[in-house]
């Protein structure tokens, strides 16, 4: 048996064991012949003593992957009549050389995977074959070109070519990972393949609502359409998962108007604001995407309503009556009047004054501006004035001021302070 590397150059010679014929002369060994394979031919060299020495000549390049063995027959013949022959079988074993690189089953692998695929899942399996044997044909797989982020997410089995997930994918962060995988045999030859992993979106993000601007307070006389807040709504998902509808919870005097892009305006509706009915409004904004199942989020806007002087003071009674016995002391309390104003601050701060009255009635009493207490200016005399009326004005501190009036009628009661005259 001869052993030859498949890289042996054509023309190489390999000595063969010669035949022995004890006859002499024409009956002795005369010639050699080789049969069995086109890869080999036979050369015969003359030895120093005139003997013939056969050599095996490689006529055509060997390829172990095509034929690992070659079976040959060497025939030796003498010159006798009849001629006698002898044969020897020659088996040539072709030794492997690393003359084949690994070859991937496809030049590019494309895979689509949902972003919520569990960690540990096998995303794709690459396959490369090598026609060589032993270490020369043993293929191992490695990442050849890969981004830092992809290397944190993916791992490859050196033996099987399986690419699996070692950390969670995120479509919103990176939707496409492109990398190169190298298949290398034990002799250092290699092939590369491109792998494109497309991450598909899953509805895993709820809409996000942010306030870009907002009024700290709204005047209660704000007209319909007044913008009180500007909102920005976004959903990091794509497609229907990222399409958002916004609404306000009912029961508030506001509505949403879509603005440019993902912006919304919160505006006052046609129903007038009234601070005296509601001094602040809790407005809930709800954003819902069109995913299945849909995700939603909400936020609350606290909108305070500022006062406008739209209410005049209102007396507790439209008309007041008081009874005072004559001969009262000057400065005595006659009665108190009271008015309330639904507004706040200076708009609701009430002060009192005398507007006028019957005759010189205004000279009989005075009113304390802050408290509404009405005092007698002097002693009353039933015999001179049995009753009189004054007009009280209640005025707020708004700008312009609002006011209202009430009538106060005072009756003087008689006392027995005069003797009969004869």
Domain extents for the chain?
2-95, 103-200, 208-306, 314-413
The CATH number of the domain covering residues in 2-95 = 2.60.40.60
Report the DSSP pairing between strands 128-129 and 103-104. Answer: antiparallel
pLDDT digits (tens, 9 = 90+) for 84-130: 888 889 999 888 888 889 999 999 999 999 999 999 999 999 999 99
In CATH, what class is 314-413?
mainly beta
Q: Looking at domain 103-200, which CATH architecture does it have? A: Sandwich (2.60)
Q: What is the mean pLDDT of residues 226-252?
A: 92
pLDDT at 49 over 80: no
Confidence of residue 25 (pLDDT cuts 50, 70, 90): confident
pLDDT score for 46: 82
8 A C-beta contact, residue 126 and residue 109 = yes
pLDDT score for 81: 81
pLDDT at 71 over 80: yes
Q: Please state, rounded to an integer, the average pLDDT across all residues of the chain.
A: 92
pLDDT score for 37: 85
Q: What is the mean pLDDT of residues 218-240?
A: 93
pLDDT score for 48: 78
pLDDT at 422 over 80: no
8 A C-beta contact, residue 29 and residue 21 = yes
Tell me what percent of the residues of the chain surpass a pLDDT of 70: 100
Confidence of residue 170 (pLDDT cuts 50, 70, 90): very high
Q: DSSP 3-state assignment of 94?
A: strand
**Can the peptide bond before residue 266 be classed as cis, meaning omega within 30 degrees of 0?**
no
Q: What is the mean pLDDT of residues 32-46?
A: 88
pLDDT at 293 over 80: yes
- Which has more confidence, 78 or 410? 410
Q: What is the mean pLDDT of residues 305-326?
A: 95
pLDDT at 23 over 80: no
Q: What is the mean pLDDT of residues 273-280?
A: 90
pTM of the model: 0.62
CA 32 – CA 16 distance, rounded (Å): 11
Q: What is the mean pLDDT of residues 154-158?
A: 97
pLDDT score for 246: 94
pLDDT digits (tens, 9 = 90+) for 211-224: 999 998 999 999 98
pLDDT at 24 over 80: no
Domains 103-200 and 314-413 agree in fold: yes
CA 355 – CA 168 distance, rounded (Å): 82
pLDDT score for 202: 94
- Least Cα distance to 56 among 32, 86, 30 occurs for 32
CATH fold of the domain at 208-306? Immunoglobulin-like (2.60.40)
What letters, b where the CB count within 10 A reaches 16 and e where it falls short, cover 358-382? eeebbebbbbeeeebbbebeeebeb
DSSP letters for 226-264: -EEEEEEEE-SS-GGGG-EEEEE-SSSSEEEEE-STTEE
Tell me the Cα Rg of the chain: 57
């Amino acid at each position: 048996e001869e052993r030859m590397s498949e890289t042996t150059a054509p023309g190489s010679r390999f000595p063969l064991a010669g035949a022995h014929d004890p006859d002499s002369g024409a009956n002795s060994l005369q010639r050699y012949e080789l049969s069995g394979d086109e890869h080999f031919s036979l050369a015969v060299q003359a030895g120093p003593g005139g003997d013939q020495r056969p050599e095996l000549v490689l006529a055509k390049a060997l390829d172990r992957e095509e034929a690992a063995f070659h079976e040959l027959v060497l025939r030796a013949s003498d010159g006798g009549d009849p001629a006698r022959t002898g044969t020897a079988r020659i088996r040539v074993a072709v030794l492997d050389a690393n003359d084949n690189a690994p070859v991937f089953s496809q030049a590019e692998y494309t895979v689509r995977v949902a972003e919520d695929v569990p960690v540990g899942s096998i995303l794709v399996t690459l396959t490369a074959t090598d026609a060589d044997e032993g270490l020369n044909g043993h293929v191992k797989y490695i990442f050849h070109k890969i981004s830092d982020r992809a290397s944190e997410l993916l791992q490859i089995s050196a033996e099987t070519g399986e690419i699996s997930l070692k950390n969670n994918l995120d479509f919103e962060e990176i939707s496409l990972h492109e990398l190169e995988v190298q298949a290398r045999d034990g002799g250092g030859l290699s092939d590369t393949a491109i792998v494109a992993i497309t991450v598909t979106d899953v509805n895993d993000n709820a809409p996000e609502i942010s306030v870009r601007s907002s009024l700290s307070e709204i005047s209660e006389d704000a007209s319909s359409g007044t913008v009180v807040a500007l909102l920005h709504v976004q959903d990091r998902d794509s497609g229907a998962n990222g399409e958002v509808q916004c609404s306000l919870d009912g029961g508030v005097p506001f509505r949403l108007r879509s603005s440019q892009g993902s912006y919304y305006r919160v505006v006052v509706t046609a129903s007038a604001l009234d601070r005296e009915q509601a001094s602040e409004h809790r407005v809930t904004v709800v954003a819902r995407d069109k995913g299945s199942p849909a995700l939603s989020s909400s936020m609350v806007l606290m909108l305070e309503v500022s006062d406008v002087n739209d209410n005049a003071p209102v007396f507790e009674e439209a008309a007041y009556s008081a009874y005072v016995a004559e001969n009262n002391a000057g400065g005595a309390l006659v009665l108190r009047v009271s008015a309330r104003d639904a507004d706040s601050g200076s708009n609701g701060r009430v002060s009192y004054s005398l507007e006028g009255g019957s005759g010189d009635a205004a000279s009989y009493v005075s009113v304390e501006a802050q408290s509404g207490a009405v005092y007698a200016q002097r002693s009353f005399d039933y015999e001179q004035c049995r009753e009189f009326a004054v007009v009280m004005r209640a005025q707020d501190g708004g700008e312009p001021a609002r006011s209202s009036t009430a009538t106060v009628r005072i009756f003087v009661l008689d006392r027995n302070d005069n003797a009969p005259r004869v």
